[in-house]
Structure 1
């Protein structure tokens, strides 16, 4: 399977298949122009025609780091699951998902903003075929660049010292770091456990740009935040631990986290 699988979902089978053909043509153009995009598969991974088909494939194959072209209006029935519902499901299962909405109805765009889907692009079905292919190429390039950056981050390590030992953990494994109750030490929480080492939050901040300072006591990793409650100034992480950020850091939380990481839920 491709490193970055591509899934199309449109209730109109003809339009879905045509979109897949356009994507395949765009992939080949990208690869021909730049071998760096050879990480893309030579063709679309899967074409679905409704919510259930797409969900079934994504779950069965445990799709991660995917690129998704979704029709917003997946059904004529008002109570049926639409493309925004599908995008929400995808984001919960594939946190790095690159969502592209393909729609003939621009009126649905505000809905995706209200529900904080974090789509990277919108492609109108009303555009000419040449224009659609051009937009697909631009969107694929952005999606691959975004995913490549995320994958590169997962390969970078954060190093720290415990006694005489120099240890390391992948940056994306770090959840947050706080000042320890033990003087001159910090307490680090990762996806696989907790550890304390010599230092303070100010010192760690200088050598860990992937972390964001949200108080005098806490550095957080935005990619591992599940939800933020601005009213109670609470940050909840994917492991369900929560911390409080300082009132003085509200602007930092808003500008550096909420605005940049659209898949974080606002409570």
Structure 2
């Protein structure tokens, strides 16, 4: 289910957007949830801090008449919810290029300077597109991990993989899974390119963040089930914590 968050300082326009979203969610309640309808960016930030949403759809005005505008709010949202789908609903179409500077990857811009029926249609189009892209990412995470041992090809569910590390045998890699271990010829860098959803926690470790059971900060030690562990490079700690927060 994808949470929808609205931030619009104009009371009338906020009510209009909220009504459009409520009516749409009414017939798509298995896919969407109106999580927040707010007039202040501070309310949105409080929601992010408390609820830690993921794959949220954010409908933001740019001029919020507050200590931060919609683009600055979107920047903070992007840090907290890396898979956020950002849709700006504004009279300031000229601000679109600025989102490139902030690397916000906005899903869309909807102009307020048009009939409410047109705004509704464009908003619904963006909701459909946002959910389709999020579902595609989710399905990609469920793909198989393929490798060859001699002439035999193995396909393991990616969510079964714990981590990969170099074998004691030169030019070979060892895969640790929930049910066993395998070794095959390969390079971590090449595997990482094929499966970017895996995380390079250290020069000698490629891990599935979803399957981490514990992270020991002082020892920089990542734990998995079956009492398996691997190290995290000090330069990767910040990104690891961010990825763990996102995935969970």
TM-score range, shorter chain: 0.5 to 0.7
Match of 2:121 among 134, 142, 156: 134
Q: Given the two structures, how large is their TM-score scaled by the length of structure 2?
A: 0.65
Distance 1:92 1:10, change over 3 A: same
SS at match of 1:139: helix
Deviation, 1:54, is 0.5
1:81 equivalenced with 2:68 (yes/no): yes
Deviation, 1:182, is 4.8
What residue is the counterpart of 2:159 in the other structure? Answer: 170
Paired with 2:80 and 2:117, the residues of 1 have a C-alpha distance of 33
Higher mean C-alpha displacement, 20-29 vs 85-94 = 20-29
Q: String of CA shifts for 1:21-78, please: whole Å, max 9, x gaps.
A: 112233446x4xxxxx73223xx22111111110001211121111110111111x6x
What residue is the counterpart of 1:16 in the other structure? Answer: 14
Check the 8 A contact 2:4/2:35 in 1, yes or no.
yes
User: Higher relative contact order at CA 8 Å, sep ≥6: structure 1 or structure 2?
Assistant: 1
Paired with 2:79 and 2:69, the residues of 1 have a C-alpha distance of 16
1:38 equivalenced with 2:40 (yes/no): no
Gaps of 5+ in 1: 32-36, 190-194, 224-234, 241-267
What residue is the counterpart of 2:132 in the other structure? Answer: 145
Deviation, 1:239, is 2.7
| Count of aligned positions | 202
Deviation, 1:95, is 1.2
The list of structure 1 runs, each at least 4 consecutive aligned residues, that deviate by more than 3 angstroms after superposition, is 26-29, 154-157, 159-162, 165-169, 171-174, 177-182, 186-189, 201-205, 207-212
Deviation, 1:127, is 1.5
Check the 8 A contact 2:25/2:32 in 1, yes or no.
yes
Check the 8 A contact 1:123/1:132 in 2, yes or no.
yes
What residue is the counterpart of 1:183 in the other structure? Answer: 170
What residue is the counterpart of 1:58 in the other structure? Answer: 48
Check the 8 A contact 1:71/1:102 in 2, yes or no.
yes
CA RMSD, 1 decimal:
4.2
SS at match of 1:7: strand
Gaps of 5+ in 2: 198-202, 210-234, 242-248
Distance 1:130 1:168, change over 3 A: closer
What residue is the counterpart of 1:4 in the other structure? Answer: 2
Deviation, 1:208, is 7.9
Check the 8 A contact 2:171/2:187 in 1, yes or no.
no
Distance 1:161 1:11, change over 3 A: same
SS at match of 2:9: coil
Distance 1:16 1:173, change over 3 A: farther
